[in-house]
Amino acid sequence: MTSIENMSQLEEYYTYRYNEAERFDANLKGQLERQRMREFLARYLPSPPAAIADIGGGPGAHAAWLQAEGYDVRLLDPLERHVAEARDAGVNAVRGESRHLPWDDNSFDAVLMGGPMYHLRTQFSRGEALREAARVLLPGGFIFVTAINRAANLVGSALANTFQERRAVVRQILAEGYSPDNDRLVMTTYHSVSQLRSELSQVATNIDIHGLTGPGGWLAVLIDAHFQDQVLPPSLAAPDPLQTALESSRVADQYPELVHTSSLLLAVGRCG
């Protein structure tokens, strides 16, 4: 997923600081992201038992769901912990690196790429990973690429009233897509919408870019950050905030210019 000299930082982060296996259940934003991803996958994927590669698939949350839906799924991740957790979930998982996939050409109907796009630091490295993903796809196969919006830190720090203390980091991420002083996510690159489209266009055509969490994601961030261990006030408790987040983000899908309001971006293209 990234260069050898950075692997120790990723292992330390995902082993001791962050439990990826709990991400989709631990808070409202994770539940929103999981449901939205399932909706987009259902929109684009061919019918089961199509073959799907989940590159950087972590502990296998998406892979396990797809497998239960009848798909033939193979997962690859660079971290032994994630591979072990995916296997425990019944997923066919191997340890490996996104720029050197262990699979033959034209092996899959679709490829999912999450972590590689924001843990690979350089555009060249991300291009290598995208070309490898395209190599293992059948002609006309779909590639799904997840990226983090450059604007996410700006909006998030404003909501949390931490912008003034994080000003330098936020400005650097907005300008360059990366800050070495960012302590929120280790070794993380952030994309603009145009940058994501440009990078994916190296290997794919007919590219759609969606706001994965959409504007509703910010309601989830607000609740997760400030009410995680508290009873929600009536104005936030009803109606169900997850449904509010989902429905508002679905409305935003009808207006392409609103993709910029989402903290997470999902690009979908066809290769070959």
- What is the rounded average pLDDT of the residues 257-271? 97
> What are the Cα distances from residue 138, in Å, to 116, 135, 229?
21, 8, 47
- Going along 96-172, which residue ranges are E strands? 108-113, 137-148
Checking if the pLDDT of 5 tops 50, the result is no
Would the pLDDT of 4 be above 70?
no
Whether the pLDDT of residue 98 is over 80: the answer is yes
> Where do the DSSP E strands lie in the chain?
51-55, 72-77, 92-95, 108-113, 137-148, 205-211, 264-271
pLDDT score for 11: 73
Strands of 72-77's sheet in order across: 92-95, 72-77, 51-55, 108-113, 137-148, 264-271, 205-211
Q: What's the mean pLDDT when you consider all of the chain?
A: 92
Find residue 108's DSSP bridge partners. 137
126-178 per-position pLDDT tens digit: 999 999 999 999 999 999 999 999 999 999 999 989 999 999 999 999 999 99
The answer to pTM > 0.75 is yes
Binning the chain into helix, strand and coil, the percentages to the nearest 5 are 50, 20, 30
Question: Residue 244 has which token pair?
Answer: 């509010």
What pLDDT digit, counting tens, does each position of 207-242 carry?
Answer: 999 999 999 999 999 998 888 777 888 888 889 999
> Does 3 have pLDDT greater than 70?
no
> Which pLDDT band, with edges at 50, 70 and 90, does 16 fall under?
low
